[in-house]
Structures are given as C-alpha cells and as structure tokens.
Amino acid sequence: MNLRARLLNIQAGGKNIAILDDADASSLGVHSSDRVKINYQDKCAVAILNVAANFPSHSIGLYEETSRKLGMTAEDAVEVEAATPPESISYIQAKIRNERLRENEIMSVIRDVVERRLSDIELSAFLTALYIHGLSMDEIEALSKAMVKTGSSLSLGKKPILDKHSIGGIPGDKTSILVVPIIAAVGFTIPKTSSRAVTSPAGTADRVESLCPVNLSLEEIRPVVEKTNGCLVWGGALDLAPADDLFIQIEYPLAIDPMLLPSIMSKKKAIGATHVVLDIPTGRGAKIKTMGEAGALAADFIDLGKRLDMNVQCGVTFGEQPLGNAVGPALEAKEALSTIMGNGPVDVREKAISLAGILLEMVGKENGKQIAEEMLKSGKAEKKLREIIDAQGGNPRVKPDDLAIGKERASVEADEDGLILYISNEDIAKIAKQAGAPKDKGAGLLLRAKLGDRVKKGQIILDIFAERSTKLESALLLANKLKPLGLSKKPEDRMLMERIPTVAVHKKTFILER
Amino acid sequence: MNLRARLLNIQAGGKNIAILDDADASSLGVHSSDRVKINYQDKCAVAILNVAANFPSHSIGLYEETSRKLGMTAEDAVEVEAATPPESISYIQAKIRNERLRENEIMSVIRDVVERRLSDIELSAFLTALYIHGLSMDEIEALSKAMVKTGSSLSLGKKPILDKHSIGGIPGDKTSILVVPIIAAVGFTIPKTSSRAVTSPAGTADRVESLCPVNLSLEEIRPVVEKTNGCLVWGGALDLAPADDLFIQIEYPLAIDPMLLPSIMSKKKAIGATHVVLDIPTGRGAKIKTMGEAGALAADFIDLGKRLDMNVQCGVTFGEQPLGNAVGPALEAKEALSTIMGNGPVDVREKAISLAGILLEMVGKENGKQIAEEMLKSGKAEKKLREIIDAQGGNPRVKPDDLAIGKERASVEADEDGLILYISNEDIAKIAKQAGAPKDKGAGLLLRAKLGDRVKKGQIILDIFAERSTKLESALLLANKLKPLGLSKKPEDRMLMERIPTVAVHKKTFILER
C-alpha cells in the first residue's frame, strides 16, 4: 500500500513506532501492535504499529527513530506492507507457558530486544513470566552470554582483572569508593563501573560524581586504568549490556528484577573481569532476608561465574541498617573520603577491608583483609583514590569539607529514652529522596544513632539536609511520620514480632522495595 | 516546574502520554514510565512519561488525548510535577506475586484500565500474571462485575432476555446467524452482539455485514429488537465492557486470553441477558481439547452465571473441523442464508437447532430442538432473519447468489485416493486469511470434502476464492504446502499418532492459536 510518510519529528524513546489511521490499518489488514514493513528507496524499516483515530488518511506517521533508519529527511511516498512478527515472540510465548528456552532462542530474544524489534507489551510479558516462573541456570548463562555478545566490551589485554559488585538495596553503601583504591594500591587492576540511582537516594556513580567526572567513554577509561590500575565510572553510557538497560526500563515500573544474575554478571564479563567479589547484604530490610537465601543466591552467582569463566566469591554482609551514617550523593562522598583518610564510621571501613580482603585472597594473596587494612592505615589507598580522581578529571586535593552539603538543615530527636532496635532502610531512603536526593547532590541525611545505641529523650538521632526549604520541610514531615529509627525501653515487652499476614512473606525471587 | 506545552497533534492510541527531554526529566526527578501531573489553568491531567533524547528543552510534549483533557488549544505554559503512581499498580504487583485480589482491588484496577491510567507495561504484566497464575472464581466474578460497572448497558425493560455465545476458534462458525432468528421467531428476545475477526478469517459481525449494516449504536439497537425480537450487531462500538476492549489490545500480540470468562460474561450481563447458551467447541484443533476440559470450563461458566444472576447452560460441540463448508465473510453469509432457506450443510443446521433448542428449554419450552427445527422447516426463521436484515438497514430480499464472492478462483485436488482423516482448523484459517479474509469480504474458501468423506485422486477437495490474483496465488501456494485436509488409504498404517515433545501438551488455560 502506498502511503505518504509524515515525519513526526519526535523520538519514541528509542522505539520503532509508526502511526496509521483506523481505516488505513483496516484496509492493510493490521491492528495496533502488529508490525509493518516500510520501504523507501533502497531502504526498509520494520515498525510496531499504533493505530489512532483521526490520523490523516493515506499517510503513515514516522517517529524519528524510524525515519532516521529510512534515511528520510522530507515527507515522501513510502510503500507499506504487513510484516510477520519476529520469531522471538514465539519464545516469549513459550516462556509464558513455562517452557525452558534454549541458548539460540534466548539469543534471538536478546538480539530483538537490542534491535528494538519488540514492543513494551512483549518485553513486559517476558520479564513478568521470567519473574513468576524463575530461570534455570542454563537460561541464566545463555542470557548473560547473549547480553555480552550484543554489547560493547573492554579489553585491557592483561590478567587478572578484579571487580566488586553489590546486589544493592542498602542506603549509604559507599564501599566501592574504598575497595577500588585499596585493590589498585596493592597493584591489581580494577576497572569499576557503577550505576546511578534509579529508585534509591544515591548510586555509586552519583556518589563518585561529587568527587570527579564519571561519564567516561570506554576509550576514556583505558588510560585512567593504565595509569592508576583502577577507575570509578558510570556504566550506563558504555553500552556494556544494552539489553539490560532496556530491561530495566520495563522492570522499573513493575518493581521486579528477574534478571538480577545475568544483569550483574554480563556487565562484569563485558568489562573483562576474571575475579569478582559479590556483596550480598542480608537481613530484614535488605533485598535478601535470610542467610539461607543468601547462600542459595551466592551458589548461583558462583555457578554462573564458572559458566562465564570468571572466579566469583560472595560476601554476605549485615544489611539491616544503612551503611555508615551518611545517605545522599555528596554526604556519602564526604563520608567515604573521610573514611579513606582514617576518620570514618567503623562499619564502612570494616565492610570495605573485608570485601577487598576476599578479592586479594582470590588472586593469591594471604591475609587479604590485613593487607587491605594496611592500605588504609598507610595512606596508600587515599593516595590511590586521589590519583583516580585526578585521572578522571577531578580535583585530587579535594577535602571532605569542600563537598557542598545542602544548606537547609533540620534534626529529628528521640521522643523517649531507649535503645535503637531497628532502622528501616526503606524509610531512610524515602526521607533522603524527599529531601531531594539523588537529584540535589547536597541533599540527604546523617544518622546520629545506629542499631544498639542507647539514646536519651530529646537527643538528636537524625539530621536532614536539603538544598531547598520546601524539600527540607516535606522530608522532616515524612521522618516524623515514618519514624525510621525504632526505639524501645524494654525489648522484652515486644515479644510479638510480626502479625501475619500484615507483613508479606518474602520468597527467594524478591520484589524490589520502592 | 514550569514548562512550555508543545501540542503534538497526534493521538497516542487513547493513551495519556507526555514527552520530556532527558535533562528536564532528570531535574524533575522522574524516569520513563513515571507519572507526571500537568496543571493548566483550573484543569489537570496525569500522563505517563516518555523520556526522549533531543526533545526541545523546557517543554513538555502532549499528545492529543492529554491536551484535550487540559482543554488546551494553543501552546502555553503549564506547571508539571511528579505524580504518585495509581494504587492499582500495587494490586498488579500483588497479582505478579500470586496473591488473590479482593473485589475493591479489582475494581481499582479495572477503573484505572478504563480511565487509561495504566501503561502497556503494567497492563501486559497484569494479564501475563493472570494467565500464568490463573484466577479464582471470586476474582472472575469481581472482574466481570467491574467490567460491567465501568461500561454502558442495554436495558430493554423486559424478561427473559436470551443470548448465545461461542468461545470461538472454529473457522466457518456461522451458527449465530441461524440461532438468533430461530429464537426471535418463537417469540423470545435475543439482542445478539458479536465481534469482528481479530486473528480469524471472519467474525460473526463480519459475516452479518455481508447481509446488512452491523455498526449500530445502543440506541439504534433498541427499535430493531422491539420490532423483531432480535438483532445481529457488532459489539465493539457499544462500550459494553470497555476494559475488555483494552485488554484485548494487549492480549492480541501475546496470543493469551486469561480473561475468557469475564470477557464473555460481562458483555452478556451488560446487554441484559437472563438466559445464555454457551457453545464450547471441543476437540483437536479447537481451543478446548478434551471433554474433561470442556466440562471444567462449562462448570465455571455456569457458576459465574449464577454469581452474575444469569442462567447459563453450555453446549459442548464437535470442534475438530470447520463448521459447514464455507470460510470467509461473504461465503459464510451465503451459506448461512442458504441453510436458513433449507439448502445448507447438515452440520450447520444441526448445530444451530441444538443450541437454539437448549435456549428454548431454558425458558420453559419442551422439546426445544424440535421447535427450533420447526422454525427452519416452516420458513419462520428465514422470515425473521429477513425482518432483522430489514430493520438493520439491509435488503430483506437478498438471495444467496446476490452476495459477491471473489472472482479469482482456484482449486486443490486430492493427490491420492483415500479417506479424509483430519482437517486442520488452524491451516484452513491461515489459507482463508492469505486469500484476503476478513478484509476482502469475498475472499475465503469452500471445503468440498469433510471428515470421513472418501475421495478419489484428482477430485477437488478445496476451492479458494480471492478478490486479487496475487492473494489467490499465495493462498493456493500455502494450501499446497500446508495440506489442511489429511488423507490416508489405510488408517491402520498410522498407529503412531504423536511424537512427543513435537506436539505441545495443552493445558486448561490455553493459548490462542494464531
């Protein structure tokens, strides 16, 4: 069917979409979500159809992505025909029916994801089915490999390449900012990529950005690592596993994360890692609730590592409260910098040297934790962090007090004498976000009391920082409503711990807490 | 945040979508798929966000649906803020986790579906989860009621109101064109709404359209039914259960149908039906494969009927081959007209009087099938059909030969002597669609042999009709490739019937065969 292409001059968020009027769609014999093949001169593009009432008849609307593919710069006649759906849809349907997918079938799905041949409807059904049915290790391996294959890779031409990752979920977890320089200071290579916050008040990339630029390209990373042994960059623009970035866009509104293992491990593989330590924060308020679940997940990570030719060990860490005292990009960068200079909270320091120690022992060092501690004490880790900051384009002489913290401040006091019995990770994250994090770099909070601390009535237990007074007010309001720090005079008065079904039972395949 | 609204003057297929540039989205602290609230003068609208690179900065793109809601006719400044997601998303997440939803939770989901507050991602996850986990009868009841409540209804102010429905899947099933006039001729009221083809070569609305207009409004149906006791109209424009129409748009690309029961029964309830006969075609090549599954589904329909205050009975019918000989809109209308005039295939006639008989007995008549047969023999059913055609605006004197059948014709011959051992519903549908059905009204096919017939080598077993020679050619090619009629000289030579896992095992919750 010959139609006039109308250039909409709008992007469809990367998707290949075309618009047809009701009547034209019907005479072409196609419905919304069907594919059409658009032929223009010697080029052709397949687009997913959106049928609209009242679109100009005998014309087809093309979003920028599609018109670019056709090399079209002015409105012109095109030939449009119904196209068959990609084969990968039959594999998505098979997964909905709980069939196991083979390697070539998974490759077909991932390739179509990356080439934007699948609609949001199809991607959402695929991820929902994966979440509900779970994945076999063969499927996880095939997904990881397909995600690496369809993306870019970094090859530094040397071995070993060390790496560290956390499955996340703990506010204030700035461990990587210490682990990377510790490892690099010992002399090992650790090209660390991190994500920005999606639902949390700060991702490691957001934290590091308070110290130096993090938006480096793959080619820009190379000289940094060659010079310093390490880097601390944002992974999002590196195209390391582009399928994962597209999956995350679908998982985000649903708050599900069925691709946890392939998502993490494909990016480690793409960066060339040979030895990976994986942090699994565990406990109430963490993504993983029990040691049993943590052990099962760790076994899967280790198995997947073997299948991908990577040596993986896991650290199961205490995850029932935020790490350190600071939550929010600049506040956390400040705390990390203080800690590497010898003045930070004990838990941040302890977690960093424990995980760095595992990594060092994985590559043959004895007493890894002791070596890591020595890197801190001697100032070598601090010196290395400053080298990395310098190489990435930041100020190597930055002092903790140089980092701009929100000028709007408020405090929350304990409303009775007592013992801090719990701290809600979820509520702490909510309050920090209400204060403006991660967008407002200086926004966030400082915990002035942690689990097990005894506090007096009227004592400050939480400081809130914001860049705007309205945000400070609403964060303070939220803090007073949520009471993220739980106090009790007598724990023995609280023998009833949970009333079921008030509290949901968490399964191994968890749902992200937003 | 103050932004300039850019009117895109394009519909987003009914969805409330707005576009923001990367940078603006980031400073507003929102991501793709988040909601934004747009305030303009005294109006506000919530839209789902699509983040694009390169959208003009400090502006927000509004599709027609959203600008209309804001009453905006020219570009102007608007106030935009992040909005919280609708509560129904938490119920969708609960369903993904296999929790049972309560009535008010389902109402919340359905209301948000109808008011277009949910994205394709969320709808797809919901339907996929329903398909995988299945629905309880309480959930099915709540869905049906919510779908009726959020749509229009027909109230004829009398009782009983009879209705007939098929779960579909059988090519050539033109039974309704006979059942409606039979019931109406006896004197009972039967306001029948039907669908158009989505994946099949013809829906009943497409068939009837060869005889008379079917696009009547609810108000136009009333005088037709008052005058003739019946009607045969398209249900799609009646807004009877608009949630279902939106679900179908999502189910279609996935080829799943988790809402079969609420979808059918909500529309019966909305039309005011008190007595419904439900056709469940069963067997190989049908949606339902075994008598056991048919019985289970029938029990669910009957139970749901009771919950919705409708008397339901089911007819389990033979579904292993197309009904009658004709497949395709005009060919089927012609066959239905011939049958009601006394000259059609026996199976069409037999199925129609059987189902009409059940309906008549449900409202107190004895020997229902005999009465139905009498309506055919006496010519009363034909007279009634012509009254209905007349009342809906068609030609009441239409003759079978008046219906325009495709001029392009080809035939398929038996390539050996033998017995017709099977006929593939799926392949027959594919060939008819390849010939141009349902878009080309005159396209389709005629089966010249049915199950159990003995044929000679060279004997014509299939005629194909098309309106265009290219379509005829490709349909003929497909027919010769698929061989939809299976022949065998000696059935006893074929003792091995299936090789597993070559043939998928079908479960009760079936997948539509496309």
Q: What is the pLDDT of residues A484-498, one digit of tens each?
A: 998 876 555 556 655
Structure tokens at B291: 């008598």
CA–CA gap between residue A488 and residue A423 (Å, rounded): 12
- pLDDT tens column, A141-154: 999 999 999 999 99
> Cα–Cα distance between B195 and B189 in angstroms, integer?
20
pLDDT at A233 over 90: yes
Residue A42's contacts (CB-CB under 8 Å, 6 or more residues apart) are none
B467 touches chain A (CB under 8 A): no
What pLDDT is recorded for position A469? 95
Interchain CB distance below 8 Å, A53 and B252: no
Residues 220-259 on B with a CB inside 8 Å of A are: 249-250, 252-256
Which of A81, A97, A478 to mutate to probe the B interface, most B CBs <10 Å? A97
* B427 is known as an active-site residue: no
Does the pLDDT at position A236 exceed 90? no
pLDDT above 80: residue B163:
yes
pLDDT for position A503: 45
Phi, psi for A113 (deg, rounded to 5): -60, -50
Q: Using a CB-CB distance cutoff of 8 angstroms, which residues of chain B are in contact with residue A13?
A: 32, 50-52
Question: What is the separation of C-alpha A100 from the centre of its chain, rounded to a whole number of angstroms?
Answer: 27
Does residue B36 belong to the interface with chain A, where contact is any CB pair within 8 Å? no
Peptide bond into A501 cis (omega under 30): yes
Proportion of chain B in helix, strand, coil states, percent, rounded to 5? 40, 20, 40
Q: Would you place residue B350 in the very low, low, confident or very high pLDDT band (cuts 50, 70, 90)?
A: very high
Helix, strand, coil shares of chain A as percentages rounded to 5?
Answer: 40, 20, 40
Residue B264 has pLDDT above 90, yes or no: yes
Minimum distance, in Å, between the CA of residue A366 and any CA atom of chain B: 45
Tell me what the pLDDT averaged over chain B comes to: 92
Residues of B in contact with A96 (CB under 8 A): 128, 131-132, 254, 256, 511
Q: What is the pLDDT of residue A237?
A: 84
Look at residue B500 in the predicted model and tell me its pLDDT: 58
| Helix H or strand E segment including A133 | helix A120-133
pLDDT at A374: 97
Nearest CA in chain A to B48: A253
- Of the pLDDT bands very low, low, confident and very high (cuts 50, 70, 90), residue B218 is very high
Of A11, A34, A127, the CB nearest to B55: A11
Give me the residue from A54, A119, A128 closest to B253, CB to CB.
A119
User: Do B26 and A133 lie within an 8 Å CB cutoff?
Assistant: no
ipTM of the complex as predicted? 0.87
Q: Which of B128, B430, B500 to mutate to test the interface with A (most CBs of A within 10 A)?
A: B128
For B436, name the nearest residue in chain A, comparing CA atoms only: A29
Residues of chain B neighbouring A131 (CB-CB closer than 8 A): 96
Interface check A84 vs B, CB under 8 A: no
pLDDT digit string, tens, across residues B413-463:
999 888 898 899 999 999 999 999 999 999 999 999 999 899 999 999 999
Q: H helices of B291-446, where?
A: 291-307, 329-340, 346-362, 368-377, 380-391, 425-434
Cβ distance of A52 and B12 shorter than 8 Å:
yes
- Give yes or no for a contact between A160 and A274, defined as CB atoms under 8 angstroms apart: yes
pLDDT of residue B28: 87
- Residues of A annotated as catalytic are 257
Mean pLDDT of B290-304: 93
Judged against a pLDDT cut of 90, whether residue A27 lies above it is answered with: no
Summarised one tens digit per residue, pLDDT across range B51-60 is 888 888 899 9
pLDDT of B513 = 45
Asked if the model's pLDDT at residue A39 lies above 60, the reply is: yes
Least confident of A115-129, A480-494, B163-177, B353-367: A480-494
pLDDT at A491: 52
pLDDT of residue B133: 97
Place of tokens 């006893």: B492
Give me the pLDDT at residue B493, please: 55
With a cut of 70, say whether residue B494 has pLDDT above it: no
Shortest distance, CA A58 to any CA of chain B (angstroms): 15
Residue A400 CA to residue B217 CA, distance in Å, equals 72
- Work out the pLDDT band at A455, boundaries 50, 70, 90: very high
Asked if A253 lies within 8 A of B122 by C-beta distance, the reply is yes
Whether residue A34 lies within 8 A of chain B, CB to CB, comes out as: yes
Q: In Å, how far is B505's CA from the nearest CA of chain A?
A: 10
